[in-house]
């Protein structure tokens, strides 16, 4: 399938051409025709699948059509509202709308309405007109209460990462918003998972939705060089600093297992003269945005992140991804390393494995269907002997069944790894 066959208008095709997207991703091929046909959508898709364009392209087309009909830009009435759980995602989505819509004339007025920024700046912008609004629920309600935002003619509502929105406690705000929004609208709900809470929400917000589901997009593994370095737990921090300096890694994301480990490692790297920032859920919004901006502007070489905080991290320039602490699952491994090699670039993913985590990594390799060579770096050769377990050594007991519930032993091992991660000698 091509974007042309999706019958998108020429200005949008031009923007896709400029972005050098070769063809629609599966979620785009499935969702765009359904959205253009006016259906509500219940979409299971994660970050990395191209879901943003899946809703942004039809939204822009709808807006352009409506605008052409009304003859002038309908002044203050928001046409499309996208709700997101985090400021970072709101900014990314708003910027995606901007780039897909760059060749439309007139251009839609797109605003990110998010907490943690001056309200006045946002109200001043809104007063000049608003077509597409990407918002976190709290600030949106705030501005609505002040009559700074006009939602009574809303045509399209998108709930992006609905599961995260509910797990972050936005249920009440969503409820309030739904009472404000016109009933006659088209609604698209995107979520990576569908726990009970999300299912209840779908019943409230969607009308005869069409379900669409895609698997996580496989990152372009062929452009990612994967390395595995064996090192003692106590030497991982020193090794990381050594590699950052001697191999001249550019924009590096280091994944750790806990907020504390992220903060500790950032402090250690900074003491060593490296420019590092921590990025985790304990930072307030201003600190999180500052950390991301620092990294994006290349004033920081290293971003030390936890899995949760990094959901949705999408910078084209990430050159290296380091698994300082190993991810829990093969899916997380693929998701983490897929932060690099974006937009046609090449990237490198480095996993540091120690005696404690060797067996866990073997399991990740087995389930992900990969097998990687182990490397030793001179001066950092491991001295601890691997701690074996039955999961990694088939002749020492039964092989674990895929999807089997964790045994007590697994849980103890994981707890040990977590402790090691947060109190490690970095
Ligand atoms: P998303 O899942 O919306 O966060 O998108 C993930 C990444 O995929 C973003 O960097 C997009 O720029 C990129 N992308 C979206 N659609 C396509 C496409 N059809 N071909 C290639 N890359 C795409």
- Report the separation in Å between the CA atom of 96 and the middle of ligand 1, taken as the mean of its atom positions: 10
Q: Please state, in angstroms and rounded to a whole number, the distance separating the CA atoms of residues 8 and 85.
A: 28
Residues 262, 116 share a domain: no
| Ligand 1 site residues, Cβ closer than 6 angstroms | 21-22, 24-25, 28, 47-53, 314, 342
State the pLDDT at residue 218.
53
Measured by CA distance, the residue closest to atom 16 of ligand 1 is: 50
- Report the separation in Å between the CA atom of 123 and the middle of ligand 1, taken as the mean of its atom positions: 31
Evaluate whether 324 touches 239 at the Cβ level (below 8 Å). no
Calculate the CA 109 to chain-centre distance: 25
Residues 141, 263 share a domain: no
Residues 136, 48 share a domain: yes
Residues 343, 404 share a domain: yes
Sheet holding 252-255, edge to edge: 276-279, 302-305, 252-255, 320-323, 347-353, 224-230, 374-375
Residues 153, 46 share a domain: yes
Domains of the chain: total: 2
Residues 268, 140 share a domain: no
- Report the separation in Å between the CA atom of 48 and the middle of ligand 1, taken as the mean of its atom positions: 6
Sheet holding 41-44, edge to edge: 110-113, 132-135, 80-83, 156-159, 186-191, 41-44, 210-213
Domain boundary among 182, 213, 244: 213
Q: Please state, in angstroms and rounded to a whole number, the distance separating the CA atoms of residues 154 and 147.
A: 15
State the pLDDT at residue 403.
40
Measured by CA distance, the residue closest to atom 8 of ligand 1 is: 50
Tell which residue, 283, 373, 274, 361, has the closest CA to residue 324: 361
Residues 126, 270 share a domain: no
Residues 258, 174 share a domain: no
Residues 237, 164 share a domain: no
- Report the separation in Å between the CA atom of 118 and the middle of ligand 1, taken as the mean of its atom positions: 30
Q: Which residue has the tokens 């091992």?
A: 413
Measured by CA distance, the residue closest to atom 15 of ligand 1 is: 50
- Ligand 1, residue 46: give the atom nearest the CA: 2
C-alpha distances in Å from residue 315, one per residue of 9, 54, 233, 266, 387: 28, 19, 29, 20, 37
Does this model's pTM top 0.75? My answer is no
Q: Please state, in angstroms and rounded to a whole number, the distance separating the CA atoms of residues 93 and 91.
A: 6
Q: What is the dihedral of CA 216, 311, 196, 113, to 10 degrees?
A: -120
State the pLDDT at residue 400.
40
State the pLDDT at residue 406.
52
State the pLDDT at residue 71.
60
State the pLDDT at residue 424.
32
Residues 24, 150 share a domain: yes
Evaluate whether 54 touches 142 at the Cβ level (below 8 Å). no
Question: pLDDT digit string (tens) for 1-56?
Answer: 889 899 899 999 999 998 888 788 889 999 999 999 999 999 998 877 889 999 99
Domain that holds residue 26: 4-213
- Report the separation in Å between the CA atom of 217 and the middle of ligand 1, taken as the mean of its atom positions: 10
State the pLDDT at residue 195.
85
Evaluate whether 130 touches 165 at the Cβ level (below 8 Å). no
- Report the separation in Å between the CA atom of 88 and the middle of ligand 1, taken as the mean of its atom positions: 16
Residue 306 Rama label (left phi>0; alpha psi -120 to 50; beta): beta
Residues 367, 276 share a domain: yes
Question: pLDDT digit string (tens) for 317-334?
Answer: 788 999 999 988 887 888
Domain boundary among 191, 213, 235: 213
- Ligand 1, residue 316: give the atom nearest the CA: 10
Residues 88, 52 share a domain: yes
State the pLDDT at residue 395.
37
Q: What would you report as the CA-atom Rg of the chain, rounded to the nearest whole angstrom?
A: 23
Q: At 256, which CATH number? A: 3.40.50.300
Evaluate whether 159 touches 81 at the Cβ level (below 8 Å). no
Domain boundary among 179, 197, 213: 213
Tokens of 294: 């620092």
Q: Write out residues in the chain with pLDDT < 50, as ranges.
A: 390-404, 417-426
State the pLDDT at residue 47.
78
- Ligand 1, residue 92: give the atom nearest the CA: 4
Substitution candidate for ligand 1 out of 26, 46, 52, 220 with most atoms within 8 A of CB: 52
Q: What is the dihedral of CA 26, 31, 36, 37, to 10 degrees?
A: 120
């Amino acid at each position: 399938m091509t974007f042309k066959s999706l019958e998108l208008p020429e200005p949008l095709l031009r923007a896709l051409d400029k972005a050098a997207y070769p063809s629609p991703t599966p979620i785009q091929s499935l969702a765009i025709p359904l959205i253009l046909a006016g259906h509500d959508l219940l979409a299971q898709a994660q970050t990395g699948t191209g879901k943003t364009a899946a809703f942004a392209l039809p939204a822009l087309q709808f807006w352009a059509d409506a605008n052409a009909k009304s003859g002038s830009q309908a002044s203050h009435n928001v046409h499309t509202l996208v709700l997101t759980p985090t400021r970072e995602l709101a900014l990314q989505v708003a910027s995606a709308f901007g780039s897909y819509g760059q060749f439309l004339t007139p251009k839609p007025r797109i605003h990110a309405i998010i907490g943690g920024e001056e309200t006045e700046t946002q109200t001043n912008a809104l007063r000049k007109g608003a077509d597409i609004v990407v918002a976190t629920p709290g600030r949106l309600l705030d501005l609505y209460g002040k009559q700074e935002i006009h939602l009574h003619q809303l045509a399209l509502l998108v709930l992006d990462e609905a599961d995260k929105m509910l797990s972050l406690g936005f249920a009440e705000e969503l409820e309030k918003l739904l009472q404000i929004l016109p009933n006659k609208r088209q609604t698209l709900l995107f979520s990576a998972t569908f726990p009970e809470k999300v299912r209840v929400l779908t019943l409230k917000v969607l009308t005869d939705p069409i379900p669409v589901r895609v698997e996580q997009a496989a990152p372009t593994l062929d452009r990612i060089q994967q390395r595995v370095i064996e090192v003692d737990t106590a030497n991982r921090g020193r090794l990381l600093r050594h590699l950052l300096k001697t191999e001249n890694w550019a924009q590096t994301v280091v994944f750790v297992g806990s907020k504390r480990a992220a903060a500790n490692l950032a402090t250690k790297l900074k003491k060593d003269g490296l420019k590092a920032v921590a990025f985790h859920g304990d930072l307030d919004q201003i600190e999180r945005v500052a950390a991301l901006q620092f990294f994006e502007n290349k004033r920081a070489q290293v971003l030390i992140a936890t899995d949760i905080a990094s959901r949705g991290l999408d910078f084209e320039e990430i050159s290296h991804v380091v698994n300082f602490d190993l991810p829990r699952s093969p899916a997380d491994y693929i998701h983490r390393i897929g932060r690099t090699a974006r937009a046609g670039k090449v990237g490198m993913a480095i996993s540091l494995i120690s005696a404690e985590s060797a067996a866990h990594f073997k399991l990740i390799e087995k389930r992900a269907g990969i097998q990687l060579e182990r490397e030793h770096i001179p001066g950092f050769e491991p001295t601890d002997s691997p701690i074996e377990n039955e999961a990694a050594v088939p002749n020492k007991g039964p092989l674990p069944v895929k999807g089997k519930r964790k045994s007590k032993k697994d849980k103890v091992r994981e707890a040990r790894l977590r402790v090691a991660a947060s109190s490690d000698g970095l």
